[in-house]
């Protein structure tokens, strides 16, 4: 199983939590249920992270390189189990910062496109 980290605007997150609560589900399960329900049975065979990556690519979003993404996931998993060393924590912070910069630039490009 893979992990996806989403950064949502406050209003979007609040709506997600409210909708999930109405369905008596966690936000994560609500997203997964909606994602697969809208795709139909044939689409559930595709890996969700592959579909997400394709959607982000279509929108022009830039992401970390695969090696950096893998390392970020490794560091996040280690952080769940124990405290990171100083070097590992610095590496994690650098990767998170790089990912945030790419995301912000992508969102700014999308906003500029939609604003035209």
Instruction: State the DSSP string of 26-89.
Output: -HHHHHHHHHHHHH-GGGGGS-HHHHHHHHHHHTT-----HHHHHHHHHHHHHHHHSPPPHHHH
pLDDT computed for residue 116 by the predictor: 61
pLDDT tens for each residue of 15-54: 878 888 888 888 888 888 887 775 555 544 556 767 777 7
Q: Which is more confident, 100 or 112? A: 100
Burial class (CB in 10 A: 0-12, 13-18, 19+), 72: buried
pLDDT computed for residue 10 by the predictor: 79
pLDDT at 114 over 80: no
In whole numbers, what is the pLDDT of the chain averaged over residues? 81
Contacts of 84 (CB under 8 A, 6+ apart): 75, 78, 92
The pTM of the full predicted model, rounded to 2 decimals, is: 0.52
């Amino acid at each position: 199983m893979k992990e996806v980290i989403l950064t949502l605007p406050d209003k979007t997150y609040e709506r997600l939590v409210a909708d999930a609560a109405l369905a008596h589900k966690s936000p994560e399960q609500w997203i997964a249920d909606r994602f697969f329900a809208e795709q139909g049975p044939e689409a559930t065979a595709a890996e969700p992270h592959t579909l997400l990556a394709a959607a982000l690519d279509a929108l022009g979003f830039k992401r970390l390189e695969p090696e950096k993404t893998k390392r970020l996931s490794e560091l996040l998993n280690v952080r769940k189990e124990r405290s990171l060393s100083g070097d590992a924590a610095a590496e994690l912070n650098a990767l998170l910062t790089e990912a945030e910069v790419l995301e912000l630039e992508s969102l700014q490009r999308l906003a500029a496109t939609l604003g035209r």
